[in-house]
Amino acid sequence: MSIDNLSIVQKILDNENLLAQRADQKAISLLSILGVFMVFFIINYRVIPVNIFTIILIVLYFLGAILSIINLLMAIRPRVRVEISDMKVRNNMPAHDPAFFGGICNYPHASAYKEALNQVIGDEATIMDIYIRQIYTVAQINASKYMHVQRGVLLVVTTLSIEFALIVYLFISFWGAGKIQ
Q: Confidence band (pLDDT; 50, 70, 90) for 95?
A: low
3-state SS track over 59-87: HHHHHHHHHHHHHHHHHHCCCCCCCCCCC
Give CA torsion, residues 165, 170, 175, 180, to 10 deg: -120
b/e map of 44-67 (b: 16 or more CB within 10 Å)? Answer: eeeebeeeeebeebbebbeebbeb
Predicted local distance difference test score (pLDDT) of residue 160: 95
Mean pLDDT of all residues in the chain? 84
pLDDT tens digits for range 17-60: 899 999 999 999 999 999 999 998 888 778 888 899 999 999 99
13 within a domain of the structure (yes/no): yes
177 within a domain of the structure (yes/no): no
Q: Give me the number of domains the chain comprises.
A: 1
148 within a domain of the structure (yes/no): yes
Residue 162 burial by CB count (10 A; 0-12/13-18/19+): exposed, middle or buried?
buried
Which DSSP letter does residue 46 get? G
176 within a domain of the structure (yes/no): no
Asked whether the beta carbons of 64 and 165 are under 8 A apart, the reply is: no
Predicted local distance difference test score (pLDDT) of residue 177: 78
Check whether 146 has a pLDDT greater than 60: yes
What's the rounded Cα separation, in Å, for the pair 175 and 135?
58
In degrees, rounded to 5, the angle at the alpha carbon of residue 19 between the alpha carbons of residues 87 and 152 is: 110
Predicted local distance difference test score (pLDDT) of residue 87: 52
- Least Cα distance to 158 among 65, 91, 19, 92 occurs for 65
Asked whether the beta carbons of 134 and 125 are under 8 A apart, the reply is: no
147 within a domain of the structure (yes/no): yes
pTM of the model: 0.78
59 within a domain of the structure (yes/no): yes
Length, in residues, of the chain: 181
Going through the chain in order, the beta strands assigned E by DSSP cover none
181 within a domain of the structure (yes/no): no
What's the rounded Cα separation, in Å, for the pair 53 and 67?
21
Domain assignment of residue 101, given as a range: 3-171
72 within a domain of the structure (yes/no): yes
